[in-house]
Amino acid sequence: MLSARSLFQEIIDHDDSFQLFCSIAASGESQGGWENGRIAALVPDGMADLAPKIARHGADEDKHGRIFDALLHKRGLEPVPVPPETDYTMLLERHGIGLPHDKLRREEPLTEKDIVVYLAHSRVTEQRAADQMDMLVKHFGNHPELGKAIRMICNDEDNHLAYCHEELLRLAAAGHGRTIQGVLRESALTEIKVYRDVSLAVMAEMGRVLRWPRAKSAALTAGIQAMYGYERFGGWHRMISLRMPERRGALNGPPTVAPAF
């Protein structure tokens, strides 16, 4: 019977599929680290209080990329090129989610609206990241090879999501509510399509590597499409709600280190 646990177990048990999984994850995290680092450097003067938190977010993402690279190296594996159709971060940017890279490469300060849009985009994508890590911790939190890594990343993703909620609520109270609401809705509806397409591409790559029979690949494709149907019908609403988190000031202070990696 197909399940998230059995599927992921199969992927991590095979060196080639594990190599691809960690390479995709490391690439996305490293890209997120660069983006947040550039945004932190370009925060407008009127929002300077956010710069250390955005920098902390970027440092966490960089750390996650190093963790996935370390998991590869522990098996004697090297990162492999990421197929473009599996590059979640790149495809999000191509669809307008995230600040354009050409803007981030300049040395011009961002606008206040840019920061509001960035945080709204992050609230959506961090929900996806937190959901995925919660699932992995549920099934593999005690795994001898992966458990410590995914628990650490999961805690960071929960912090990132809490920070997005808290800062967006503060900005909404300061008069940005209408912008935030519109960006959240547009971002969520775009993200669920990108996530579906990336999921289909990743499963196709894994099927090729693991030589899945057509029936298994078809069942997984149907499952991904069904999940998209659920999210398109109403599941996307979980990605746009805002509530004050239990973790207040989640990104205050320096980033946590990962000495084991």
Per-residue confidence band for 254, with pLDDT thresholds at 50, 70 and 90: confident
Tell whether 183 is covered by a domain. Answer: yes
* CATH (domain of 194): 1.20.1260.10
Per-residue confidence band for 259, with pLDDT thresholds at 50, 70 and 90: low
Q: Write down the pLDDT at residue 260.
A: 59
Tell whether 254 is covered by a domain. Answer: no
| pLDDT tens digits along 176-192 | 999 999 999 999 999 99
In three-state secondary structure terms, 239 is helix
pTM score of the predicted model: 0.94
Q: Write down the pLDDT at residue 89.
A: 92
Tell whether 252 is covered by a domain. Answer: no
The CA-atom distances, in angstroms, between 128 and each of 188, 210, 216 are 10, 26, 25
The CA-atom distances, in angstroms, between 99 and each of 4, 8, 34, 195 are 32, 32, 12, 18
Q: Is 2 exposed, middle or buried (0-12, 13-18, 19+ CB in 10 A)?
A: exposed
Closest listed residue to residue 57, CA positions, set 242, 250, 187, 188:
250
pLDDT over 70 at 46, yes or no: yes
| pLDDT tens digits along 76-92 | 999 999 999 999 999 99
pLDDT over 90 at 257, yes or no: no
pLDDT over 70 at 261, yes or no: no
| pLDDT tens digits along 108-153 | 999 999 999 999 999 999 999 999 999 999 999 999 999 999 999 9
- Interacting residues of 129 by C-beta distance below 8 A, sequence separation 6+: 157, 160, 161
Q: Write down the pLDDT at residue 258.
A: 67
- Interacting residues of 3 by C-beta distance below 8 A, sequence separation 6+: none
Tell whether 123 is covered by a domain. Answer: yes
Distance, CA of 73 to CA of 55 (rounded, Å): 27
Tell whether 50 is covered by a domain. Answer: yes
Q: Where are the beta strands (DSSP E) in the chain?
A: none
Tell whether 249 is covered by a domain. Answer: no
133-143 exposure pattern, b = at least 16 Cβ within 10 A, e = fewer: beebbebbeeb
Tell whether 179 is covered by a domain. Answer: yes
pLDDT over 90 at 3, yes or no: no
For residue 49, give both structure tokens. Answer: 């209080």
Domain count within the chain: 1
Tell whether 89 is covered by a domain. Answer: yes
Average pLDDT, the chain: 95
Average pLDDT over residues 162-182: 97
The CA-based angle 142-8-74, given to 5 degrees, is 65
pLDDT > 70 fraction of the chain, expressed in percent and rounded: 98
Domain interval for residue 94: 4-239
